[in-house]
Amino acid sequence: MQSMKTLASAAQMLVFLLTCGAIFGAEESKTAPKPEGEAKSGAPAEPKTGKVDTTDMALIPAGTFVMGLDGPTAPANSKPAHKVTLRAFYIDKYEVTKAKYCVYLNEAKNLKFEKGLLYDEQGKMLGRPDGLKQDGGKWAPLAGLEKHPVVSLTWHGSGQFAKHFGKRLPTEAEWERAARGGTTTGWYFGDDPKQLDDYGWHHGNCPELKTHEVGLKKPNAFGLYDVYGNVYEVVSDWYAEDYYAHSPAENPQGPEKGEYHVRRGGSYYYAALAGCNSYQRVTTKIGNEPEATFVDSNWGVRTAADAPGEK
């Protein structure tokens, strides 16, 4: 199991991360600053962007941050740590819930539900409606799961959901900038993975291996909840192991093509050092199944949107 293997090197990684934080600390504060452009109430500075409803979204200011991780214990695909500059953008404060996903299913036209799977009007698979039911012709979450994250969507299905609301998937760089909350440490709370219990649902505090209601743990400085754990979050980028070695310094969009995409942040199934952190990259490849037909019950989505005047 990947998680167990990685746990074995936990102590070594911790020492490394402490060193790494000291190196990066000269460039960017280790303590999370208060995000710019956010009202005191926690509400976005501009609650509406045209037709896009940015309620429960955080406005991440334009800025430069250090993406990835260096060092002997850093995953190969997280190297090298490199500076990235991004325009401002909005990103959801919470993982998309089953209740919100049902709004989409009930509003979207010409969706098909066949043999337990959802398809769009072109016949492309959207996902599997785990924890959802049809009631009187309408989709609804199973009782008690309304605020749990939607899971088991394909990459295409995640993007179609976002598009329905005038939004999009975040790029991988946007996800990491938002996740870090201004920090350069392995986690936005520092470099001690033992603190993860206060910030995310991972296999150490989730022995039942199930999703939890979003927003129950402590947020980061940008106001994002469940960045670590609960469910993995898919991003728009194709995956390439060596992408960080040659990615653009400004607004990287990922490789031009690929076979699989990237997902970030770990899930209830993984450990602090096996995905539930700010730096680790995981592909959507599992086994030999084509990505277009593969879904997983610990994969979810967090959507993003362009900020006014930024694109």
Strand stretches in 61-166, DSSP E: 63-67, 82-86, 89-92, 112-114, 117-119, 125-127, 132-135, 138-141
Q: How far is the CB of 225 from Ca ion (least distance, A)?
A: 9
Residue nearest to Ca ion (CB): 265
Sign of CA dihedral 92, 256, 247, 69: positive
Identity of the residue, 119 or 228, whose beta carbon is nearer to Ca ion in the bound complex: 228
Q: How far is the CB of 72 from Ca ion (least distance, A)?
A: 28
Candidates 230, 277, 298, 303; binder of Ca ion (CB under 5 A) is: 230
Q: Is 181 in the site for Ca ion (CB under 5 A)?
A: no
Candidates 70, 174, 191, 226; binder of Ca ion (CB under 5 A) is: 226
Q: Is 152 in the site for Ca ion (CB under 5 A)?
A: no
From residue 299, give the alpha-carbon distance in Å to each of 48, 155, 262, 292, 306.
28, 10, 11, 14, 23
Which region, judged by CB under 5 A, interacts with Ca ion, from 120-128, 133-141, 225-233, 273-281? 225-233
DSSP 8-state code for residue 33: P
Contact criterion met (CB below 8 Å) for 123 and 265: no
Q: How many residues bind Ca ion (CB under 5 A)?
A: 3
Q: Is 219 in the site for Ca ion (CB under 5 A)?
A: no
Q: What is the DSSP string of 1-27?
A: -HHHHHHTTHHHHHHHHHHHHHHHTTT
Q: Is 265 in the site for Ca ion (CB under 5 A)?
A: yes
Which region, judged by CB under 5 A, interacts with Ca ion, from 13-21, 82-90, 158-166, 220-228? 220-228
Binding site for Ca ion (CB under 5 A): 226, 230, 265
